[in-house]
Amino acid sequence: MEGLTVSDRIVLTGLRARGRHGVYDFEREQGQDFVVDVVLEIDLDKAAATDDVADTVHYGELAERLVAVITGEPVNLIETLAGRLAEACLSDPRVAAAEVTVHKPQAPIPHDFADVAVTLRRDRSHTASKAGTLDQDRERGSR
91: domain CATH number is 3.30.1130.10
Tally of domains within the chain: 1
Cα-Cα end-to-end distance for the chain:
36
pLDDT of residue 125: 83
| Domain presence at residue 109 | yes
pLDDT of residue 137: 52
Mark whether 104 is an active-site residue.
Answer: yes
Catalytic residue among 69, 88, 96, 104: 104
The pTM of this model reads: 0.85
pLDDT tens for each residue of 52-68: 999 999 999 999 999 99
The number of CA neighbours under 13 Å toward the Cβ of 49 is 4
CA distance 56 to 112: 41
pLDDT tens for each residue of 16-45: 999 999 999 999 999 999 999 999 999 999
pLDDT of residue 104: 98
According to DSSP, residue 31 is labeled -
| Domain presence at residue 94 | yes
Sign of the torsion angle spanned by Cα atoms 46, 47, 52, 53:
positive
| Domain presence at residue 65 | yes
CA distance 106 to 99: 22
Give the domain extent around 85. Answer: 9-141
